[in-house]
Structure 1
Amino acid sequence: MLRGPATVNIWADDVEAAKNWYAELLDVQPYFERPGNGAPAAYYEFRIGDRQTELGIIDRRFAPEGAATTPGGTVLHWHVDNVEATLERLLSMGAAPYMPLTEYGPGFVTASVTDPFGNVLGIMYNEHYLKTLGE
């Protein structure tokens, strides 16, 4: 049975630029790095959020054959305290709109962007997340 995200992996052609972009966004440096066969790092990993979920940035050279190279598919939403302010910050850092700010009712607001490396990054205010976090 699924117990919660262990690691969320995203792809980037320029892993160093992606590492720097996410380090600025998250205000934390990666805690783990794996070298890339004579090249700069092929993988960086951050621990972020209330449950210290792993966010891994992988060099796109190691993507499975046939992996999508355009945004789409599953959208993982990260809980944030203020979707509008976080969306504005993401856009000011070079992310592109993907799904607009949408309120689904009191306590449920989402938006998503495409990061500068082609990955969809969802953000959400979810009152159930806060309730379960408090328990």
Structure 2
Amino acid sequence: MKFLGLRTVIYPASDLESTKQWYIQATGVQPYFDEPFYVGFNVGGYELGLDPNATQTTTYWGVEEIDLAWKHLISTGATADQEIQEVGDGIKVATVKDPLGNVFGIIENPHFGK
């Protein structure tokens, strides 16, 4: 089981349009994915996501095999938070909580280089 580095940060965006406009101005980058349920930016090879349904900021670490990473994290004392789910286009995400209660996200994204 190997971590590939930080890949994605998802920010809550209750007002998706104004939040999107702010990040366009702040980063100078246009979104590559722009839907009412999610706006995604590629900023320097990393995903900056805006989610109108998110309640907290979540950072995701890239992994090659999310099932193995999930089992590994649980075996080290993490607790399940959000089970593994496919979010489209072959991308799978999940979150656990570390022993201190911090959210630790993992993402298997076949579109990121290894």
Give the number of the structure whose alpha-carbon radius of gyration is greater: 1
- TM-score, normalisation: structure 1: 0.43
By percentage of residues, which structure has more helix?
A: 1
- TM-score, normalisation: structure 2: 0.50
By percentage of residues, which structure has more strand?
A: 2
Higher relative contact order (CA 8 A, sep 6+): 2
